[in-house]
């Protein structure tokens, strides 16, 4: 019936269902199709989110950061989308910004403007802030930000799986930075034999074992990853496996 709203929603569902994240041109074809059917600011926001993550996955930092900045601007016009966008925020976004202070300022401005004390957007923002503080070497403040985030999630009824994984990853990284081997062991042991379940923590465990001289465990973790040929289309899994193989290759040489 040439209903633009319906066509736009259909394209979004096609994007969600595809497993071709690795194919930049294919993903951009969805963006071009969306563009023809955008009639609202909310739709523009969703389209920008797709463009932002597509460019981030393909290491196009300048394009990704521009789209994310535009998302934050559009949010002020469409506050009803704050929860949706909050669920899409994550630590990887930080990688594409040259000026983290500006990013934090914009996010905090949104939190203050809409008084998002107990809100998904605020909860995920605090995880991002914690990551930034950790990268800056301020582990104490990173822990404060994480605690704040977790308290907000608890008030919301519980943290979701994706952001729980992000928070756990950061806790492991901070424990490692402080030579807290007990905590690293405790947090990563569940993923020794199940890397696909949380591959980022499995990789940390493999590196930690390698640095301790336990190459047997590193190889054991690698053996539980999917074969490389099966991960040809995996943007994340393939590099994780290759990074462990590279560590072990250092010993072979």
Q: Per residue in 182-240, pLDDT tens?
A: 999 999 988 887 666 678 888 999 999 999 999 999 999 999 888 877 776 676 778 88
- Whether the pLDDT of residue 32 is over 90: the answer is yes
Residue 191 φ/ψ region, left for φ over 0, alpha for ψ in the -120 to 50 degree band, beta for the rest: alpha
The per-residue pLDDT for 59 is 87
Lowest mean pLDDT among 5-19, 56-70, 132-146, 233-247: 233-247
Question: Whose structure tokens read 């403007």?
Answer: 113
Neighbours of 63 (CB within 10 A): 16
pLDDT over 70 percentage in the chain: 96
Give the HSE-up count for residue 94: Cα atoms under 13 Å, Cβ half-sphere.
20
The per-residue pLDDT for 95 is 86
- Whether the pLDDT of residue 47 is over 80: the answer is yes
Residues 6+ apart with CB under 8 A from 121: 82, 83, 85, 86, 89, 110, 111
Helix (H/G/I), strand (E/B), else coil: 127: helix
Judge whether 139 and 174 are in contact, CB under 8 Å: yes
Judge whether 56 and 92 are in contact, CB under 8 Å: yes
Lowest mean pLDDT among 57-61, 156-160, 234-238: 234-238
The overall average pLDDT reported for the chain is: 90
Query: For the whole model, what pTM was predicted?
Result: 0.85
Of 192, 141, 190, which is closest to residue 170 (Cα–Cα)?
141
The per-residue pLDDT for 233 is 66
Averaged pLDDT for residues 138-145: 96
């Amino acid at each position: 019936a040439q209903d633009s709203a319906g066509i736009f929603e259909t394209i979004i569902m096609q994007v969600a269902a595809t497993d071709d994240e690795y194919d930049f041109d294919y993903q951009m074809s969805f963006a071009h199709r969306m563009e023809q059917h955008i009639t609202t600011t909310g739709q523009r926001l969703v389209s920008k989110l797709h463009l932002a993550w597509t460019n981030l996955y393909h290491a196009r930092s300048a394009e990704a950061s521009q789209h994310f900045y535009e998302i934050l601007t559009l949010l002020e016009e469409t506050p009803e989308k704050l929860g949706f966008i909050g669920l899409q925020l994550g630590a990887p976004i930080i990688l594409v910004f040259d000026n983290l202070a500006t990013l934090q300022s914009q996010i905090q401005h949104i939190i203050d403007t809409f008084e998002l004390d107990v809100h998904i957007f605020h909860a995920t923002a605090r995880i991002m802030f914690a990551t930034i503080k950790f990268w800056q070497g301020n582990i104490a403040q990173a822990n404060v930000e994480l605690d704040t985030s977790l308290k907000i999630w608890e008030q919301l009824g519980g943290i979701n799986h994706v952001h729980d994984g992000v928070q756990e990853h950061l806790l492991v990284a901070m424990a490692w930075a402080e030579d807290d081997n007990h905590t690293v062991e405790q947090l990563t042991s569940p993923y020794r034999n199940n890397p696909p379940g949380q591959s980022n923590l499995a990789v940390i465990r493999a590196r930690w074992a390698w640095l301790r001289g336990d190459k047997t465990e590193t190889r054991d973790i690698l053996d539980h990853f999917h074969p490389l040929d099966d991960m040809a289309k995996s943007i994340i899994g393939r590099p994780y496996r290759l990074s462990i193989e590279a560590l072990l290759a250092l010993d072979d040489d």
